[in-house]
Amino acid sequence: MIRFEQVSVRYEGAGRPTLSGIDLTIPEGELVLAVGPSGVGKSTLLGAVSGLVPHFTGGVLTGRVMVDGRDTRTHKPRELADLVGTVGQDPLAHFVTDTVEDELAYGMESLGLAPDVMRRRVEETLDLLGLAELRDRPIATLSGGQRQRVAIGSVLTPHPRVLVLDEPTSALDPAAAEDVLAVLQRLVHDLGTTVLMAEHRLERVVQYADQVLLLPAPGAAPVMGAPADIMALSPVRPPVVALGRLVGWDPLPLSVRDARRRAVDLRERLAGVEPPAREDPADAVVAPLPERAAARPGLLGRLLGRRNGAAPAPAPVQDAVTRVEGLGVRHGRVQALRGVTLTVTPGETVALMGRNGAGKSTLLSALVGMTAPSTGSVLVGGLHPSRTSPGDMVRRVGLVPQEPRDLLYADTVAAECAAADSDAAAPAGSCRALVTELLPGVPDDVHPRDLSEGQRLALALALVLTARPPLLLLDEPTRGLDYAAKARLVGVLRRLAGAGHAIVLATHDVELAAELAHRVVILADGEVVADGPARQVVVSSPAFAPQTAKILAPREWLTVSQVRKALEGLA
Amino acid sequence: MTRTTGPARLPPALRAPGATRGNALPAGAWWLWALGLATAASRTTNPLLLGLLVGVAGYVVAARRTDAPWARSYGAFIKLGLAVVAVRLVFSVFLGSSVPGTQTLFTLPEVPLPGWAQGVRIGGRVTAEQVVFALYEGAKLATLLICIGAANSLANPARLLKSLPGALYEVGVAVVVAMTFAPNMVADVARLRTARRLRGRPTGGIRAVLQIGLPVLEGALERSVSVAASMDARGYGRTAQVPPAVRRTTHVLTLGGLLGVCAGTYGLLAAQGAVHGLPLLLAGLAAALAGIRLGGRRSVRTRYRPDRWGVRAWLVAASGAAVAAAMIWAGAVAPEALRPGVVPLTAPVLPLWPAAAVLIGLLPAAVAPLPPSLSDSKERT
């Protein structure tokens, strides 16, 4: 169906080709998963199938890509539109029209299908993807999972024989991801569609793949084969595979179900060992920066008679970093949060989980003071965040937003660091020291945009930490990170927690929560529905349990590294 | 669940149905209705009739608008109307007016101007007649704007563009995409303001605007590139093969038609050529339309569920036309009722028949399908 013949792609200004010497054939009706560390050219490979590389992205493609006998060199993307459906990483950037139904029809309109055919296919697709109730809704009002389904639906209606998806589940909560994957599987099984997708969250998708295409390193030759074989040599692997490799199962299990059948033995071996309790939060307390000199009010401020706020409250008792009581937040008519009560102590790591739109981001923004509470109270370091000036707030709480790029303004890393020092009134060089620690080997003159996803996250984290906030918030930090970058992040956050930072993570990534969190708080519909030690909350929930916990249930093992230590202890 | 409102007593068959995609009113019907009201407004300066027109438009908007972002534009248009009245008044007071008046309200100090600026006056006597005249004229313009605002908030702009002929389709898509950008940019600004706060910088002030502006533009540019890629990958701009003869005919017709339109308009405006002007204009228009229609053959696209002109759509459009026709007729029969005297000042009276005719414009509030948000809330009460 798809054939790559000696394909190399080189972008302008790049030192080396992004892809080189790719030779592979993807047969019809297969679900092929492209895996590999970030920056190996997965997106470029996917783009080459739809012709967007190089027709739209620029760069030079040598060799030949054939899709169902059509050569992408001579066929522009629009001439492949009836054959290949493409959904990129960001569904919002995919939509052309404003309502769900029009969006589903758009591709067919462009191809000039007859009106009755269009009508029938739109109805079929609405049913197939469970979108019937949303048909008249404006796309802007949909949740992440719904958007992803609409994006997939919009490329399905012209009945393409090939579907190309770039990270279709990364932004979704576990349940929404299951929905999307179930749809893909149905397409492959019932319609014989060929699906090529790239995904970092292997634990979600690897069990559905017929074949895995591994791009081991930039410029290295790709390897394609059965999922179990490829996983045995892949540098990126989900926990279930990691556990299988640790215990030496052969063939490797890919799904929790396979692994559970194999794990009878392992469960017996571990029966005598008590799963380690998460070590208690460290005692350390973050030393605050010296108070900044009271700034003279600006000219405008003096004219308006503004005073430099009352002197900040005397240093509060350091028992809790933040105290949220009965917090309610309304956005217009929507009650985003209702009666949320939460206390975080120094050194504690709390994972905030729940489906898309449950209120996680709203809670974080209330903690930094972007959203004022409509009822209840929020205290961070003894102050009301929404009534405190940003300059004072950065020393008490830092948030790394979902898109770390938002925090970056300057042209170089050095300029960014200098700005952070002056924003936080920290001694010069303190931010640069943090960058060196978190992100070794990044020169001063790099443009932040040229950093990889993981490096950008580390830079944003360094900027936020410059003000030494005792409370650190991260919104969906692992989106777009590969396993290696994620492991580095886990290490960094562990060290910060050890130094006394309280950390609150809003995340869909159950594996991350299992690795890091002392406590898990689950939000649903703006209310706290579960709050307790990570082990108990996570293991008892089918949606939020990490793979290791599912395999070894009912015992409360959360991560592969815990099992590894236990086995080493036994040996 | 008993209903006590007026329409509730109607037999169910006559009640307006809830709006769905299938029975949605074409955007064109709303525009015809609103343009009818606007035409009526342009025929009168009677403040009572103008007020009635604004009331009619406002009632229909309140009864039939949706939750969509464009539906909130009505308030903006009312403010714009008020601003127009205010500006008209200010100009009249400070720059004087050609209306002769006897009842002086107050006198402003007059700025002496050199001889070459004769006929221009700054400051001076302000008469009641001149103020009232400016108010009437301003109110007329404001009513026109408010009628346009009503159409704007009732009709989905994307659907209006969809009814463009095939050859102009690509322009329409460009506009629709541009419209979806505005809300995205607003969201970007909110996100970047949050980010500024996170860096410990104030979120207001000129420096904040400058520092946020660049990333917002950058984001918009990036998004437009990715939307363009997505559109291309989904078949935007596919063209059908048409015989060269058809292509050439299209060019000749379109170009020739446009030339004809230009020449015809010139003929009509110039004093002598009026005889040839009109036929030339009509012929040019016909040729240009034929060219556009033929040009549509190059595009392969089809339309998904175009809006249908049903009885309700015709009623809505016709009610606007009826208001316009009645007002034009009244203007011919009894012009003094539509243009209350300014010199000497008289109190305007409400002419009975034109006022009754304006009320026909309320018809859409009864016949147009109820938008879902409104029908839900009515079911609940």
Q: Å from B116 to nearest chain A CA?
A: 45
**DSSP letters of B145-204?**
HHHHHHHHHHS-HHHHHHTS-GGGHHHHHHHHHHHHHHHHHHHHHHHHHHHHHHTT--SS
Task: State the maximum Cα–Cα separation within chain A, in Å, rounded to a whole number.
Answer: 77
| pLDDT single digits (tens) A315-343 | 444 567 888 999 999 877 778 899 999 99
β-sheet bridge partners, residue A324:
A342, A378
Task: State the maximum Cα–Cα separation within chain B, in Å, rounded to a whole number.
Answer: 77
**Tokens of residue B220, six digits:** 């918009």
Residue A24 lies in a domain: yes
What average pLDDT does chain A have?
Answer: 86
Q: Which pLDDT does position A303 carry in this prediction? A: 53
For chain A, give me the number of helices (H) and strands (E)?
22, 19
| DSSP 8-state code for residue A529 | E
In 3D, which of A1, A145, A137 has the Cα closest to residue A543?
A: A145
Indicate yes or no: CB of B183 within 8 angstroms of CB of A140: yes
Nearest-CB residue to B229 (from A52, A136, A419): A52
Q: What is the mean pLDDT of each run of 10 residues along chain B (381 residues)?
A: 49 75 86 93 92 95 82 87 94 83 83 76 84 92 93 84 74 73 77 83 76 81 83 83 84 88 80 72 88 79 84 94 93 85 84 92 91 53 33
Indicate yes or no: CB of A406 within 8 angstroms of CB of B240: no
Residue A87 lies in a domain: yes
Nearest-CB residue to A81 (from B184, B199, B235): B235
pLDDT winner (highest mean) among A29-33, A34-38, A168-172:
A29-33
On chain B, the residues whose CB falls within 8 A of the CB of A463 are 199
Nearest-CB residue to A398 (from B183, B196, B198): B198
Q: What is the pLDDT averaged over residues A130-135?
A: 87
On chain A, the residues whose CB falls within 8 A of the CB of B177 are 96
On chain A, the residues whose CB falls within 8 A of the CB of B234 are 78, 81, 85, 96, 106-107, 110, 154-155, 158
Q: Which pLDDT does position B67 carry in this prediction? A: 76
Domain that holds residue A10: 2-237
SS3 B244: helix
Q: Which pLDDT does position A299 carry in this prediction? A: 52
Residue A267 lies in a domain: no
Report whether A21 contacts A8 (CB < 8 A): yes
- In total, the C-beta contacts within 8 angstroms joining chain A to chain B are 168
On chain B, the residues whose CB falls within 8 A of the CB of A366 are none
Report whether A467 contacts A393 (CB < 8 A): no
In which residue are the tokens 């208690």 written? A280
| pLDDT single digits (tens) B154-192 | 988 777 877 777 777 777 777 777 776 776 777 788 888
Flag the least confident range among A46-55, A544-553, B15-24.
B15-24
Nearest-CB residue to B177 (from A96, A135, A158): A96
pLDDT bracket for residue A309 (50, 70, 90):
very low
> Taking CA A239 as the corner, what is the angle to CA A210 and CA A266, rounded to the nearest 5 degrees?
105
Q: Å from B220 to nearest chain A CA?
A: 10
Please state the domain count of chain A. Answer: 1
Residue A197 sits in a domain whose CATH number is: 3.40.50.300
Higher-confidence position of A507 and B166: A507
Residue A123 lies in a domain: yes
| pLDDT single digits (tens) B287-321 | 888 888 887 777 777 888 888 888 999 999 999 99
Nearest-CB residue to A107 (from B195, B227, B235): B235
Residue A364 lies in a domain: no
pLDDT bracket for residue A313 (50, 70, 90):
very low
Quote the distance between the C-alpha of residue A272 and its chain's center: 36
Please state, in angstroms and rounded to a whole number, the distance separating the CA atoms of residues A345 and A343: 7
Task: Spell out a b/e string for B40-64, using b for 16 or more CB atoms within 10 Å of the CB, else e.
Answer: bbbbbbbbbbbebbbebbeebbebb
SS (HEC) of B304-354: CCCCCCCHHHHHHHHHHHHHHHHHHHHHHHCHHHHCCCCCCCCCCCCCHHH
Residue A386 lies in a domain: no
Residue A293 has pLDDT above 60, yes or no: no
Q: Which pLDDT does position B9 carry in this prediction? A: 59
Please state, in angstroms and rounded to a whole number, the distance separating the CA atoms of residues A449 and A177: 29
